[in-house]
Structure 1
């Protein structure tokens, strides 16, 4: 509950560019990011800045108003690590821009190799229908192996630990908060004495990782400065030795097969 002089419903908008930062304050630090087509509610606009809520996870922040456009119904989402938007259905055409995994698009028609959207043409092999959800969040996250680490990042151009987990879970139709402390509080049930399995989550203070198999983690981390696999025991010991503390929780999610 908050106190304010007035409350508004919020105007529906979406992001018009490949990726943008959600800021703590106008011109301030990055908190998280949103990508093309992200559904946003604008609550206030002032001096070229909009205070918005990302509808995917409820995260709020400031974004430059000129990066927003009228909301449109999306039909498809980019499910490859990244793709290109072309002015015509021709791979040799000069691309208009790059799009990240998770970008939402309105497909108008589908040809032999390209899908026509209201923004241009995208290889249809890089898209899936919005209602055709994935089933393994780790498989989704593994498409981002090698993506550079970026604190607060949520795209194929740069991503952090909680951004990676969120990318995987949202693709599977599972609600997921934006930050690792929120994820630890909201996701799954304690693993207890059970052995880890693919899809489990390991948490530290300020960090989260997927379990890829009984002996391996997948996470976006500063040690590799990228999304990478790392031995589970090796990671637990390394993180403790560098002074970031022990594992604070091990969680298991209920995943739809």
Structure 2
């Protein structure tokens, strides 16, 4: 086994070589490599233990990131100048190695990013729902984990990992492993999670959910009672659990 890191802005974590996407990895994410074959690597993500396959050219040497992207997304520019050409676009949660500081910009291996868009690697945020809110309007993408496309469990994971709380990648595992189950009829509280079979949503406030869903095809607010009725009527069943972290 060897430790590597992702060197592309967003990488699909595939079920098997040339297979379907299960999740995604972001620039700087660390992975353990267990096998390589015909240009493919079988890996496990360090952040959540998720297994899968990535193309070997999407991997580079392990390095300890100094910073991470805390803006919804950012550009890496050729020069410390917002009018210079951009080289790459990075999502919230990407990990970077800062080489030097240039005024309002940080020099990284990809180029220069605005310093206001990143924090030191040890920094943890405090409100996972506020983190999830950064993704409002992000297109829904099955298995997505970035500002460019995300699904329900990716939205929950983004919020919790940013606040230093371990979180599995899939909603079924999240339902089993996260929080404390609450009795039916418990008054919802901001930061609670509501689960259905194959779906999860943040409780944002009184009668309001924040979730990535295929009905709206993006990250959106939706009244809780409306969502519960809609999901039941479309044949996806009732709420399976209400959990508090």
The gaps in structure 1 that reach 5 residues or longer are 1-9
3-state SS of paired residue (1:98): strand
3-state SS of paired residue (2:164): coil
Establish whether residue 226 from structure 1 lines up as the match of residue 212 from structure 2.
Answer: no
3-state SS of paired residue (1:183): helix
For residues 113 and 100 of structure 2, the distance between their equivalents in structure 1, rounded to whole angstroms, comes to 11
CA displacement, residues 80-110 of structure 1 (integer Å, 9 cap, x when unaligned): 1100011210100010010011100011223
In structure 1, the residue matched to 2:54 is 63
Given candidates 81, 86, 99, the residue that maps to 2:72 is 81
CA displacement, residues 33-90 of structure 1 (integer Å, 9 cap, x when unaligned): 0010000111100000000000000000000001111011101111111000112101
For residues 13 and 235 of structure 1, the distance between their equivalents in structure 2, rounded to whole angstroms, comes to 41
CA displacement, residues 102-121 of structure 1 (integer Å, 9 cap, x when unaligned): 10001122332111123221
* Contact preservation (8 Å) 1:41, 1:52: yes
3-state SS of paired residue (2:161): helix
Given candidates 35, 38, 63, the residue that maps to 2:29 is 38
In structure 1, the residue matched to 2:116 is 125
For residues 29 and 127 of structure 2, the distance between their equivalents in structure 1, rounded to whole angstroms, comes to 22
RMSD of aligned Cα (Å): 0.8
3-state SS of paired residue (1:121): strand
For residues 240 and 167 of structure 2, the distance between their equivalents in structure 1, rounded to whole angstroms, comes to 19
For normalisation by structure 2, the TM-score amounts to 0.98
In structure 1, the residue matched to 2:6 is 15
The gaps in structure 2 that reach 5 residues or longer are none
For residues 118 and 29 of structure 1, the distance between their equivalents in structure 2, rounded to whole angstroms, comes to 30
* Contact preservation (8 Å) 2:87, 2:110: no
Given candidates 167, 171, 188, the residue that maps to 2:162 is 171
The 10-residue stretch of structure 1 (166-175 or 105-114) with the greater mean CA deviation from structure 2? 105-114
For normalisation by structure 1, the TM-score amounts to 0.93
